[in-house]
Structure 1
C-alpha cells in the first residue's frame, strides 16, 4: 500500500466549475486519508462541514502604497511556499495555469525541495487567456514546467496543443460528480410550486456570461412552449442578467419564466426539471450538464467544445450546432413529447453518469497521477 499524501490545492474558491471540482476532489481525497490543504483567498464555498484531514490557509494580500494594484500573485506564491515548507507537502495541485500554476512554480523555487506541481486546465486559461499574445508565453511556461498537466476534455487538450504549440503530454481527466450528492431527488411536492399539472419544466444554470448564450435559452424555450405547455427556471447570476430579464419581458414570457438567482442545493433544483438547456458558444466540459445527467435530467444544447464528449447525441441528450435554436427546440419537443423516449434517455443519463463520471473513478485517476510524479507506488483504494 502506497503512502498517504500531503496535498496543497489552489483554485478560484468562489466561482465557476473549476472551484467546485477542486473542492469536491479535495474532500474525496481527505475521506481516503490524504491530508488536504486548501490555499486560497477565501474559504471554498463547497467545502462544507469540518473534516479532520482538511485544512484551510487564507492568502492575504499586501496593501502597500507603492503597488498600484494589490499583488495577489506574489502573495499566493509566498503562501504556497510557506504552507509547503511548514506542512511538508508532497505536491501542489493547482487549477488554472494563470495565475495558480505560475505561482506554484515560483513557490517550488522558493522552497527548494522536491515539491511537485500538478496543473489542471479547465478551459478559460486556454480558450480566453491564451488568445492574448501577451500571456501566451507565460501560460506555455506554466504548462511545460509543471510535473503533470491534466485537462477536463480531449477537445481542450487539442486546443491547448494547437494554440500554444505544446508537445508535453497532457492527461485527460474528466470532471466528475459525487453520486452520493447528485441523484434523482423526490421533489414532486416542491415542483407543484413551479408548474401546473401537465406542464414541463426546463432549466438553465450558469453565470450568465455572453459565452453561455443565455438569450438562446429564451429563444429555445419560446419555441418549445408553443408546442408543449412548459415553464423555464433560470438559476444563477452574471453580467447578462439584466439583458436576459428585458428579453423575457419583451417576449411576453414573464409569467412562464422564473429567475431563481444562485442556489446552493443544485441537485435538488436540477431534480425539479425535465430537461437542461445548454446552448453555450464555448464549453470545455459542461459540468452543469453532468450534474443534470446524474439526476436523470437530459441536456439539450450545442455541440461546442467538450460537450459531445459528455452528452452522447440521441442517447443521453440532444446536440445541435451553436446558435441553431430552432433545432434545439425541435429536439426538446421530441424528447418531452414522447414519454417512452424520455424514460429511455433519462435512464441512459443515470447509467453514464454513475459509470463513466463517478467520483471514485475520477479521483483514482488523479491519485495515479500524483503517485506517478512522486515516483511512488499507488496504493489500493476502496470505493467511496
Structure 2
C-alpha cells in the first residue's frame, strides 16, 4: 500500500486543525497514512484516535518550525513516503525542504491562505516570496482553496498554470445540518431565547476584523432593539474588542470565548456574519451554511465565491461597517428571507462543498500522481 505523509504546523484549533481531522483519516483505505503536526494542541492525540500514526514536532511557531527541519527530515527518511502532502506555509516550507533533502519526488502543496496578504514590509515580501517559490518548485502540484487564491499564485508566476489547481474546502453535511429545534439548542448553549440572534465564529485577530462587526452592531442595536450578538472565539484582540464594544455602549454584544463545535452556535442563530480582511476558504462559513444559517460576509477571496449574493446570504464591501449592519438588519427583520436564504445556503453546500466529494478529489489527485509516475 502506498504511503502518504501529511505535514501541518497547526495543532491548536482553527480551520487547519478542522481540515486535518476531517480529511487525513479518509486516506486510510487507499494509503498508509502518517501525519507530522505541531505539538502544542490536541491535534496529534485526535489524529491518533482516528488511526493516523502521528509525529508531534515543535512546528507551531515559525521560528520553532524552521529549527525543526532536521527532525522533519529524519522522520521522512525513516518513513520513506511515496507522497508528501504539505498544508499551509510554514509546515509546507519545512516539509518541502525535508522532502527535497530526502529525495521525495511526489509532493502536493495545499496552500491554505495566500501569505502575500501579509506583505506589510520588505522583510515579509522577501520571506514570503522565497518560501512560496521554494514550496511551489518542489511540489508536483500546487492546490489552492479558492479561484482568487489561485489567481494570486498565477499572477506571481510561482509555477506553470497547469501545475496550480483549485480544490475548495469541504464540510461534513451529514454531521452538520439545520437544527430541528433552535429554542432547545439555545437553552442548551445558554443563549438568549425568543430574541433575534446573530453569531460570529473565528479567531479574534487582525485578519478577521471583528472590529468592523462591533462597529456595525451599534447600528443593528439601534434598529433591532431586541437583537443579540454572540461572538465565539478568542485571540490577542479580544480585550481591545471588548473595550470597543464598551466605548460604543453596546448592551447585547456577548464575547463567549472559544467553544467546542462552533457550528452549533450557527445552528442556533437567525443569521451569521464573517468580516475577514483576507481569507483562503473559511471552514466556519461552510459550517454555517450547512447549518442553514444565512450569512453576511465581506468580499474577501473565498467568501464571495461561496456566498451567492442575494440568494444564500449577502456579500458586502471590505471596511464598510454600515453595509454589514444594513444586511444584518434586513435579515433580522424578514423571517421569510432568512428561511429562504438558509435553505438555499444548505443546499449549495451539499451540492458544491460536501466533504465526501471534496476528499474524493484530493485522494484522486494523489492516485493520479502515483499512476503518472508508474506509467513513466
**TM-score (norm: length of structure 2):** 0.87
1:94 maps onto 2:91 in alignment: no
Residue 156 of structure 1: which of 149, 154, 162 is its match? 149
- For 1:65, the equivalent position in structure 2 comes to none
- For 1:382, the equivalent position in structure 2 comes to none
Distance 1:129 1:29, change over 3 A: farther
1:8 maps onto 2:5 in alignment: yes
Residue 328 of structure 1: which of 320, 324, 330 is its match? 324
How far residue 244 of structure 1 moved from its aligned partner, in angstroms, is: 0.7
How far residue 129 of structure 1 moved from its aligned partner, in angstroms, is: 5.5
The alignment partner of 2:46 has SS state of coil
The equivalences for 1:194-213 within 5 A come to 194-197=191-194, 199-213=195-209
Name the structure where helix makes up a greater proportion of residues: 2
Distance 1:117 1:130, change over 3 A: farther
1:39 maps onto 2:29 in alignment: no
Distance 1:340 1:362, change over 3 A: same
Q: Which runs of 5+ in 2 are unaligned?
A: none
CA distance in 2, matches of 1:133, 1:377: 35
1:240-277 CA distances to partner (integer Å, 9 max, x unpaired)?
11111011112222x41221111112222221211111
How far residue 103 of structure 1 moved from its aligned partner, in angstroms, is: 2.3
1:242 maps onto 2:274 in alignment: no
How far residue 49 of structure 1 moved from its aligned partner, in angstroms, is: 7.2
The answer (yes or no) to whether the contact 2:197–2:269 under 8 Å persists in 1 is yes
Q: Which runs of 5+ in 1 are unaligned?
A: 62-68, 379-384
How far residue 43 of structure 1 moved from its aligned partner, in angstroms, is: 6.7
Distance 1:106 1:48, change over 3 A: closer
1:297 maps onto 2:289 in alignment: no
How far residue 366 of structure 1 moved from its aligned partner, in angstroms, is: 0.6
Distance 1:101 1:271, change over 3 A: same
The answer (yes or no) to whether the contact 1:223–1:329 under 8 Å persists in 2 is yes
Distance 1:264 1:23, change over 3 A: same
CA distance in 2, matches of 1:308, 1:212: 15
- For 2:72, the equivalent position in structure 1 comes to 80
Residue 252 of structure 1: which of 228, 249, 255 is its match? 249
The alignment partner of 1:375 has SS state of helix
Name the stretch that deviates more: 305-314 or 160-169.
160-169
Aligned length: 362
Name the stretch that deviates more: 341-350 or 156-165.
156-165
- For 1:66, the equivalent position in structure 2 comes to none
The equivalences for 1:158-197 within 5 A come to 158-163=151-156, 166-168=159-161, 169-185=163-179, 186-192=181-187, 193-197=190-194
How far residue 340 of structure 1 moved from its aligned partner, in angstroms, is: 1.7
CA distance in 1, matches of 2:115, 2:70: 22
The answer (yes or no) to whether the contact 1:39–1:79 under 8 Å persists in 2 is no
Distance 1:221 1:56, change over 3 A: same
CA distance in 2, matches of 1:89, 1:302: 40
- For 2:125, the equivalent position in structure 1 comes to 133
The answer (yes or no) to whether the contact 1:140–1:164 under 8 Å persists in 2 is no
CA distance in 1, matches of 2:315, 2:37: 37
Distance 1:189 1:118, change over 3 A: same
CA distance in 2, matches of 1:190, 1:281: 31
How far residue 57 of structure 1 moved from its aligned partner, in angstroms, is: 0.9
How far residue 70 of structure 1 moved from its aligned partner, in angstroms, is: 6.6
- For 1:104, the equivalent position in structure 2 comes to 95
**TM-score (norm: length of structure 1):** 0.86
CA distance in 2, matches of 1:331, 1:130: 31
Name the stretch that deviates more: 41-50 or 166-175.
41-50
CA distance in 2, matches of 1:273, 1:221: 16
Residue 111 of structure 2: which of 103, 121, 127 is its match? 121
Distance 1:43 1:93, change over 3 A: farther
Distance 1:79 1:182, change over 3 A: farther
